[in-house]
Structure 1
C-alpha cells in the first residue's frame, strides 16, 4: 500500500515499529494502556482527540502532526515536544511528592474545621476564577502540607474531619493539575484522595473521591474501570438517600452524570441517557437552587451535561437545540460555563459551521481562559478552527490559537 493511503492508525504503527518501540512502551508514554493503542492502530477506535495526537507525535518524536494524520492542506502543524506546562506545577509537585513522613512537633497542627473552610474556599475560587489553575495552584502547596500535617497530628473525630478535608484538597489538586501534571502525579493525587476518605470512613467523601478517580480512569482510556468505580460509589451512597443531607444526594447525582458522559464517549447511547435520567431525577429531588460545592451538581449542571452527552454521541442538532434553551449565567461556575460553550462549539464543528464555532470558542475563552487553554477537547476545537476557518476569519482563529498555546510556532 502507498504510504499516502495509510490511515492515521497505520501511520502510528509504522512509525512505532520503525523506532523499535513496543505497543506498551508507546502507550505508557501517552498515559494510556496497550489495548487502547491496539484499537487505534487497527482502526477499531477513532483517534479524534487533538491532545492525544500531540502526545503520540511527541512520543514518536515527529515535529509535524501531518506525519501522523496525512493531512497536507492548511498550515503546518508543529508538535510541542512535551506536556502542557504551567508555572505553578513545580511547587504543587514538590508538595505532593516530598511530603514529610514523621509528625512535626514544631507547631500546633491546623484546626480541622479551619482546614475544611480553606478547602471549601479554594473550591469556590476554582469555579469563580477566569484563571483558576493559576490562582488555585498558588494556594495548593500550603494546603497540601497543612492537610497532611493535620491528618498525622490529630486524633479521633478531629483526625477524621482532617482526613475529609485532605481528601477534598487532593481532589482539587487533581482538578487543577489535570493535563499539566505528569501521569504519575495524577494517579498519586487520585489515590491519596480516595485513601484519605476511606480512612475517615465517611461515605460522601469516599463517593466524591471515587468521582475524582473516575475522571482519571476515563481520561486515561479505562472507561470500564471508570464506570465500575463510580457505580460502586453510588451503591455506597444509595441506601442513605432518603435520610441523607443534600450534599450526599448531590454527589450521588454527580456520579450518575459522570457515568452518563463515560457511556456517551463510548457510543453507548441508551446507557448514557439512562444515567443522565438518574441524575435528572436527583436534581428534581433537591431544592431548586441547590449546588454541590465541588462538583457543582444541581439543576444547571444536569442541563449542561445533557448538552455534553448529546455532543459526545455526535448528535449535533440535538446538542445545539438543548443549548439554545439554557441560560449559561445560571451556572455558578466559570469553568462549567466555559465548558458548555466548548460543547456548543464542538456541535457547530460537527455540523461544519466554523464561523459559529469560532464565535462560541472566543466566548468560552473570555469566560474561562485557562479552562480553554488546558482542556483537550477545547484545544482540539481551537486547533480545528485554526486549520479550517474561513479566509475572512483566519486572523481571529490564529489569535485564539496563539492565546491558548495551540499555535506555538
Structure 2
C-alpha cells in the first residue's frame, strides 16, 4: 500500500456546489431554476467549464442551497464570515403571531367562556375570505390571527366530544391560514410548528378532509424548503386517504382532493418532471370537471379557474415559455375570486415573458400583478426575483417605471 503526505486538493467552487446540491437531494434543473438559469448553465459551473464571477448568482445559489455562509461555496475561510440573507422578509404582524403560536397555554379544563365551535369556524372562514379578497392580505389577516389562534386553542382544551372535534377542525384551519399568511416572513421553526400543529389537530379530529387540507399545507413547506420528493409523498398519501370518500363526499372534499393533484403538478414541474407534472394536472382537471363550473374551494380556491391558472404555472416552471403564454391567452382572470391567486397568475406570465427575453411585456404584466395584490408580489420570492431582474435590466425607455415598481416591492437594496 502506498502512502502519501500530499494534502487532498480542496474541491473547486463548482464541485462544492454539486456536493451541496446532492446533499440537499436537489436535481440540477431545480437548483438552476431557483437561480433563474437553465440546467446547462449549472452543469458548466459544476464541471468547471464556466467560472462563477457574478456575486448576485453566488448569493442566489447560497440561498437556494440554504447555506449560512458563502465560504461553504467559495471555500475562502481566510477572511471574515460572509453571512447570506435567510430569505425571510420582515413584516410588522409577525411578532404578535409568533407570540400567539409559541406561548400556547398548557392548562386544561372546562371554563364558562369556551368559544362556540360553529362561531369559531365562521370566523376562520371569514378570515380565509379576507385572505383571498384583500390587496393587503398578509397585514389584515395577521391582525386577526393572534386572537383566532388563542380562541381555537382554548376551545380544544376546554370542550369535549363532538364539540371538541369541531374545534380541532377549526384549529387545523387556523394553523393552515397562519402558514399561508406567514410564508416567507416566518422563521423556519415557526413554519414547521404551524404545519405540524395543523396536521396533528386534523388527525386528532379524525376528519379526512381536514387531514388532506393540512397535508396540502405541510407539502407547501416541504416544497419551499427543497424537499420535492417528500412533498409529493405527503400529497399522495393524503389523496389516498380521502379518495375512498369522494363518491358520496361533500363538494369541498373533492375540492381539496383536486388541490392535492395541482400541488403535485407544480412540485413535479419545479423538479423538471414534465410527464409527471402534466399527469397530476390532468387528475386535477378531471376533478374540476366533476364539480359545478362555478365551484371554488374556500381556502385553496380549487376550481375550474385555478386548474387553468395551474396549467400556466406548470408550463412556466418547466421553462416552456411559449406554452405558458399561449395558455394564459385563453384565461379569463376575472373568473378567479382570489386576488392573491390572480396576482400569482400574472407573476407566472411575467416570468414567461422574461424567459423569452421580452422585458417590456414582463414589466407591464408584473405591474398588473402588483396592482392586484401588492403584498403577494412583495412577499413572494419568484415575484421579487422577477422584479429585481426588471429593475436591473429594463429597456431604457421603461427604467423609471421599473425603478418605481422595484421600490414599491422593496428590492432596490437587493
Common topology (TM > 0.5): yes
Q: 1:46 aligns with which of 25, 32, 51?
A: 32
Question: How far did 1:260 drift?
Answer: 0.4
Match of 2:332 in 1: 327
Question: How far did 1:158 drift?
Answer: 0.2
Which runs of 5 or more residues in structure 1 are unaligned?
1-5, 14-22, 28-32, 69-78
Q: 2:389 aligns with which of 384, 390, 399?
A: 384
Match of 1:60 in 2: 69
Q: Does 1:137 align with 2:142?
A: yes
- For 1:10-409, list aligned pairs within 5 A: 35-36=23-24, 45-46=31-32, 48-49=34-35, 52-53=60-61, 55=63, 59-60=68-69, 83-103=88-108, 107-408=112-413
1:338 and 1:182 map into 2 onto residues whose CA distance is 24
Question: How far did 1:44 drift?
Answer: 8.8
Aligned partner of residue 413 in structure 2, secondary structure? coil
CA-based RMSD of the aligned residues comes to: 2.5
Q: TM-score, normalised by structure 2?
A: 0.84
Aligned partner of residue 142 in structure 2, secondary structure? helix
Question: How far did 1:240 drift?
Answer: 1.0
Q: For the Cα contact (< 8 Å) 2:176–2:214, is it kept in 1?
A: yes
For residues 250-284 of structure 1, the C-alpha deviation after alignment (integer angstroms, 9 at most, x for no partner) is 00000000000000111111110000000001000
Q: TM-score, normalised by structure 1?
A: 0.85
Which structure has the larger Rg over C-alpha atoms? 2
For residues 370-389 of structure 1, the C-alpha deviation after alignment (integer angstroms, 9 at most, x for no partner) is 00000011111101111111
Question: How far did 1:53 drift?
Answer: 4.7
Distance 1:397 1:321, change over 3 A: same
For residues 36-73 of structure 1, the C-alpha deviation after alignment (integer angstroms, 9 at most, x for no partner) is 28867xx99426347955747993279xxxx98xxxxx
- The alignment covers a number of residue pairs equal to 371
Distance 1:286 1:81, change over 3 A: closer
**Higher RCO (CA < 8 A, seq sep 6+):** 1
For residues 179-226 of structure 1, the C-alpha deviation after alignment (integer angstroms, 9 at most, x for no partner) is 000000000000000000000000000000000000000000000100
